[in-house]
Amino acid sequence: MKSEERSFRIVDALLLLMMIIPFLCGIALHVMFKPSSDDIEIAGALIFFTIKMPFQDLPITESQVNSWLVIIAVFFLCLFLTHGLSATKPTRRQHLAEMAIELAENLVHSNMGDYFSGFVPFVAAIMVLSVFSSLLTLIGLYPPTSDFNVVAGWALLVFILITYYKMKCGPVHYLKSFGDPVPFLAPLNIISEVATPISMAFRHYGNVLSGSVISVLVAAGLQGLTKLALGRIEGFIGEFPFFQIGIPAILSIYFDLFSGCLQAFIFAMLTMLYIATGFPEDDYKEKMKKKKMKLQKEN
C-alpha cells in the first residue's frame, strides 16, 4: 500500500472517529447524571451545572450540550465527505456530497429565487441540525428539538432575518406594510408578525415532544399489559416484557425517523417562504434603480 493511500485512510478513520466520539461523550454524560429509576419517566433535559450570573443564573442543560455535540459531529461529517475531492476521479462520498449540495440549491432556488442563492448553507444547516438533533433519541439521548428554548432560539434568528429583509426598503415602507390591504387591519398584521416565530417554535417543538411522549406512554402501557397478562407466571416468562418487543420500534420509525425529518423539512420550508415572501423585491429594485439614477445625475 502506498504511503499516500495509507495516510488518506488514516485521516478518514480519524474523521469517522471524531464523528462518533461526541455521541459517546453524550451517552456517558447521560449515564452519569441521570438518576437511576426502575419506572418509565417523562422529564425534560437534565441540568448538568449552573453558572452564577449577575441577574439570572445560567443552567447548562442536556439540550445545550447535545446541540454542541451534534454540531461537532456534523462538522467532522462535512470534513469526511469533502476529504479527497478530485475533479478527475470523484469518489462515492464526493458524489453524495455534490448531490446533497445540488438538492439544497434546487430547494432554495425554487422557493426563494435567485436573489437568495446565498441562503443555501443556512437552510442546509437548519435541516441537518434539526434532523440530527431529533435522531438522538435513537441512541437514548435527549433531543434538543424537544426543548422549546432551543427551537425558540432558531425561530428568533429566522424572525430577525425576516424583519431584516422586510426593512430592505426602509423603516417607513416596513411600517406601511402593516396597513395592507386596508389600514384598520394593522393590529391584526402586527399580531401576525409577532406570532410568526412563536408558531414556528411551537410547531417544531410540539411535534417532536409529542412523539417522544406518545412513545414513552405506549411503552409504559405495554409494560403494564405484560405484567397483567403474564405477571402471575413464575420465572423468566413472567418477568420478561414480551409485549414491549417490536411495537415501540415501529413507533420509533415514525416518530423518530419520519416525523423528525419531516419537522426539519417543514421548519426549513417556513424559513424560506417567510423570508422570500416578506421581501418586497419589486419595491427594492425600484428603489435601487432610483438611487442609481440619482448617483448618475450627481456625477
Q: 157-189, pLDDT tens digit by residue?
A: 999 999 999 888 888 888 888 877 777 788 888
- Considering only residues 42 and 193, tell me which one the structure prediction assigns the higher pLDDT: 193
Contacts of residue 138, defined as CB under 8 A and 6 or more positions apart, other chains included, come to 252, 256, 257
18 shares its domain with 68: yes
245 shares its domain with 204: yes
Residue 36 backbone dihedrals phi, psi, to 5 degrees: -70, 140
271 shares its domain with 182: yes
pLDDT band at 56 (very low <50, low <70, confident <90, very high): confident
CB neighbours of residue 240 within 10 Å: 13
Rounded to an integer, the average pLDDT of 256-270 is 87
Position 125 scores a pLDDT of 93
26 shares its domain with 102: no
Closest CA to 150 of 215, 75, 62, 72: 62
162 shares its domain with 65: no
108 shares its domain with 59: no
Position 121 scores a pLDDT of 93
Share above pLDDT 70 across residues of the chain, in percent, rounded to a whole number: 88
Number of domains in the chain: 2
Cα-to-chain-centroid distance, residue 195? 20
**Cβ-based burial of 4 (10 A; exposed 0-12, middle 13-18, buried ≥19):** exposed
Instruction: Pick the range with the lowest mean pLDDT from 38-52, 227-241, 282-296.
Output: 227-241
Rounded to an integer, the average pLDDT of 287-294 is 82
Instruction: Pick the range with the lowest mean pLDDT from 56-60, 76-80, 230-234.
Output: 230-234
Cross-strand partners of 51: 58
Query: What does the alpha-carbon distance between residue 229 and residue 248 come to, in Å, rounded to a whole number?
Result: 18
Nine-digit cell string for 139: 441512541
148 shares its domain with 205: yes
55 shares its domain with 113: no
CA angle 210, 216, 221 (to 5 degrees): 125
148 shares its domain with 75: no
pLDDT band at 217 (very low <50, low <70, confident <90, very high): confident
52 shares its domain with 94: no
137 shares its domain with 220: yes
105 shares its domain with 79: no
Range of the domain at 228: 87-298
